[in-house]
C-alpha cells in the first residue's frame, strides 16, 4: 500500500489563479533585501548581502554637476542620495562634510582627483569617491552609467577601504587613488 501525503499549498485554488507579488513587495514584507528574493526565484545563492546590501545602507553625495536625473535614477533603485552641499561648496571643504557623514561621493569633476590640496583633503576626510571617466555626457547618460555600475560599485566599496578615488567607465571601475606601490 502506497502511503503518500499530499499537502495543499494553495488552499484548494489552482496556482495560476493566485495573486502574484513583485520581488520588491515580498522583500518589504519579509524584511530582507530584494536581491535575496530574486536569487531564490532564480535558484542562485544570494549575493545581496555582499554588494547590493552594502549599497542599500550607503548614502551617496551626488555632485551638483551630475544633474537631477542621477539622484532620481539612483533613488528609483532604492538608494539614498543627498545633493545639498551646493554649487559653491569649496573643493577643500566638502570632503570633510562627506567623510564625517560616511557618504560616498559621485562626481564628474576630475579636478578633485588632480591637485595635491584636494587629494590631501579627500585623504584626511577618508572620502570614498567615484568619478566619471568622461564628464562630457548628458545627465541621462551619466545616470545610466552609474546605474549600470551599481553592482561593481558595491563590490568596489566592499573590497577597498577609504580613502579612495575610482573612475567609472563603460568598461568598469579603475582605482585612481591611492595608486598601487611598485612591486606590491
Instruction: For residues 108 and 28, state if they share a domain.
Output: no
How much is the pLDDT for 183? 55
134: which residues sit within 8 A by CB, 6+ positions away?
169
CA distance 9 to 2: 21
Instruction: For residues 31 and 61, state if they share a domain.
Output: no
What residues does 59 pair with on adjacent strands? 80
**Residue 162 CA, distance from chain mean position:** 15
Instruction: For residues 34 and 91, state if they share a domain.
Output: no
Instruction: For residues 150 and 106, state if they share a domain.
Output: yes
Instruction: For residues 121 and 43, state if they share a domain.
Output: no
How much is the pLDDT for 64? 78
Q: Is 56 inside any structural domain?
A: yes
125-135 burial string, b = 16+ CB within 10 Å, else e? bbbbbbbbbee
Q: What is the DSSP letter of 124?
A: H
How much is the pLDDT for 46? 47
Q: Is 61 inside any structural domain?
A: yes
How much is the pLDDT for 143? 84
Q: What is the mean pLDDT of each run of 10 residues along the chain (184 residues)?
A: 66 70 82 77 54 76 81 85 68 81 86 72 92 79 86 89 91 85 56
Instruction: For residues 39 and 100, state if they share a domain.
Output: no
Find the domain containing 164 and state its range.
50-177
Q: Is 9 inside any structural domain?
A: no
- Asked if 176 and 165 count as a contact pair (C-beta separation under 8 A), the reply is yes
**Residue 76 CA, distance from chain mean position:** 12
Instruction: For residues 78 and 109, state if they share a domain.
Output: yes
State residue 86 phi and psi, 5-degree precision: 85, 165
Instruction: For residues 54 and 23, state if they share a domain.
Output: no
Instruction: For residues 94 and 152, state if they share a domain.
Output: yes
- Asked if 162 and 127 count as a contact pair (C-beta separation under 8 A), the reply is yes
Amino acid at each position: 500500500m502506497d502511503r503518500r501525503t499530499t499537502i495543499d499549498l494553495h488552499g484548494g485554488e489552482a496556482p495560476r489563479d493566485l495573486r502574484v507579488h513583485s520581488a520588491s513587495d515580498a522583500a518589504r514584507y519579509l524584511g530582507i533585501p530584494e536581491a535575496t528574493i530574486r536569487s531564490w526565484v532564480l535558484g542562485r545563492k544570494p549575493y545581496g548581502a555582499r554588494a547590493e546590501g552594502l549599497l542599500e545602507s550607503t548614502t551617496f553625495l551626488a555632485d551638483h554637476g551630475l544633474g537631477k536625473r542621477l539622484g532620481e535614477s539612483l533613488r528609483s533603485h532604492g538608494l539614498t542620495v543627498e545633493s545639498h552641499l551646493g554649487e559653491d561648496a569649496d573643493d577643500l571643504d566638502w570632503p570633510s562634510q562627506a567623510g564625517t557623514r560616511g557618504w560616498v561621493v559621485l562626481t564628474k569633476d576630475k579636478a578633485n582627483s588632480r591637485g595635491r590640496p584636494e587629494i590631501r583633503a579627500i585623504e584626511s576626510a577618508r572620502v570614498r569617491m567615484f568619478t566619471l571617466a568622461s564628464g562630457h555626457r548628458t545627465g541621462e547618460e551619466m545616470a545610466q552609467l552609474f546605474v549600470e555600475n551599481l553592482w561593481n560599485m558595491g563590490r568596489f566599496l566592499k573590497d577597498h577601504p577609504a580613502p579612495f578615488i575610482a573612475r567609472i567607465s563603460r568598461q568598469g571601475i579603475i582605482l585612481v587613488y591611492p595608486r598601487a606601490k611598485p612591486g606590491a
